[in-house]
Each structure stands twice: as C-alpha cells, then as structure tokens.
Amino acid sequence: MPVRRSSGSRSARPAVRIRRLTVAGALLAACSFLCTTPSSAATTPARGSAHMGMGVLAHDGRAGTPTSDQATQTEGVDVSGYQGNVAWSTLWNSGVRWAYTKATEGTYYTNPYFAQQYNGSYNVGMIRGSYHFATPDTTSGATQANYFVDHGGGWSRDGKTLPGALDIEWNPYGAACYGKSASGMVSWIADFLNTYKARTGRDAVIYTATSWWTQCTGNYGGFAADNPLWIARYASAPGTLPAGWGYYTMWQYTSSGPTVGDHDKFNGALDRVQALANG
C-alpha cells in the first residue's frame, strides 16, 4: 500500500531552502566584511617608524601657531627617516638654524637617512643634534642609551653639536605608558639619562608632552635641574610645562611647517643655541 506524504512536508521544503539560503547569505556577507575590514594590527605602525610628535595631534590636538610678539626665538626642525633626503639649503634659506635627526629607536632600528640628515644640516651651517625614540617596554634605559650613543647619539665639543635628546612620549605600538607604572617609568628614564651622561659627559635633552608626562610619570619633577626640556604642543603658546621646569629650552610647535613638517622654536637667540652645543 503506497504511503502518502502529507502536503505539509512538501510545503516545508521551500521554507527550509529559504532559511538555508538566508544563512548562507549572512555567512558570505560576514566573510566579505572580515576580508575587507583591516584588523587592529593593521592600524599599528611598523616598528621603527615612530618619530617626534607622533602622538601629539591624536592626544593633544592643535590650537593655533606661535604669535609673533614672543621673545627672541631661533627656528629649528626635527626630522626622521619619514622625511627621507631633506632639502637643507632650502631650510637654511628660510631661516632655520638648528636641527635634530632621529638616530635610533629601541635597540632594533637605525635611521637609514641619518647620514644625509645629520651631516647635511651641519654642512649648510646649522647646529645639529640627534635623538632617540624610547621604547621602555622592549629593553632597559641603559641598554637603549648605549645603543643610541653607538649609532649616532654621541656628542663632541665642536660648537656645532647639540646634546642627544630622549624622545619619550605616547607608545605608537601599544599602551600609552608602555605598561609601566609611574615609578617604573621614572626609573627607566633615569637609567637612560645616567647612562647617556656617563658615556658622553652631557645631560640629555628630554622631549615630551605635558599630558603624557603627567599621565605616565605622575608629573615627576626630578629631572628639571639637569636636563633641558623640549616641550611638544601644537598651539599659540607652549602652555603648562611638566613639574620642575620653569621654562622650556625648545618647543615643537607644529607638524605642518614648510619643507619639513616638524618645526621648533629655541627659547633664545642663536648664541643660546651655541651655548647649549658647547656645554
């Protein structure tokens, strides 16, 4: 006797197929989204690509440019591998008289354009120096100071070479304070500064932003007596300085200057720049 299937089972089949197609479509859409949307890792810059002021706009923003009625200031620039070969004669003709070049980062990077930038600024008549981008989460302060000195961060009393600068700011590769407590960060910085002075005889310049310094060192004021301050703030005035420093020595005031983006003011006439170079 033939078995008769209910009409209900026949009508259910199209519904099942529809549901399956709907699910398949959703999966394809999800796959398409995941395949075309960059992961968070893709937005993290490559190690070695950091430079002075990399986090300033994102964290502190921009609020104008310096006013023309300030006391005598001497124009400068800071450069890194990001700028490639720099037109130093153009910068000199525009009034730039001093420059800092990124030499190293952590213990894993040296600037491939360092010679052109460091020597090129010197050759057109500028007073020049070099800086190290700190990564306190990778190796000790002493280890990084030694790496810096060994790869372009040295100093000589030639009247044209500024003391090395420690670029200590937001971590572009992870947590802003590199996973360190305020006391741990202060200890790391001290380790770097003490080693740098032992190697070169000079106190290094500290480049930072007040907001980062407050967040990551607890606004520690113990370095102000010996280490010149290079403040980062893209505004009409440098604003509140970190604890201990009554004045800034240098001020990075913009990342969008002519020829080279990062422009700076030295707090004084050219003879004060020379005095810092001479130690």
Q: Residue 229 in contact with residue 266, Cβ under 8 Å?
A: no
- Please indicate whether residue 78 is annotated as part of the active site: yes
From the list 60, 78, 105, 203, the catalytic residue is: 78
DSSP single-letter state for residue 87: -
CA 265 to chain centre: 18
Closest among 270, 237, 269, 250 to 67, alpha carbons compared? 237
Closest among 165, 159, 140, 6 to 79, alpha carbons compared? 165
How many residues comprise the chain?
279
State how far the Cα of 169 lies from the Cα of 197, in Å rounded to an integer.
21
Q: Residue 205 in contact with residue 230, Cβ under 8 Å?
A: yes
Closest among 238, 130, 217 to 169, alpha carbons compared? 217
Say how many C-beta atoms besides its own lie within 10 A of residue 169's C-beta. Answer: 24
- Please indicate whether residue 137 is annotated as part of the active site: no
Termini Cα distance of the chain: 110
From the list 105, 169, 262, 264, the catalytic residue is: 169
Provide the token pair at 219: 């606004």
- Per residue, the 3-state secondary structure of 104-137, as one string, reads EECCCEECCCHHHHHHHHHHCCCEEEEEEECCCC
Enzyme catalytic residues? 78, 167, 169
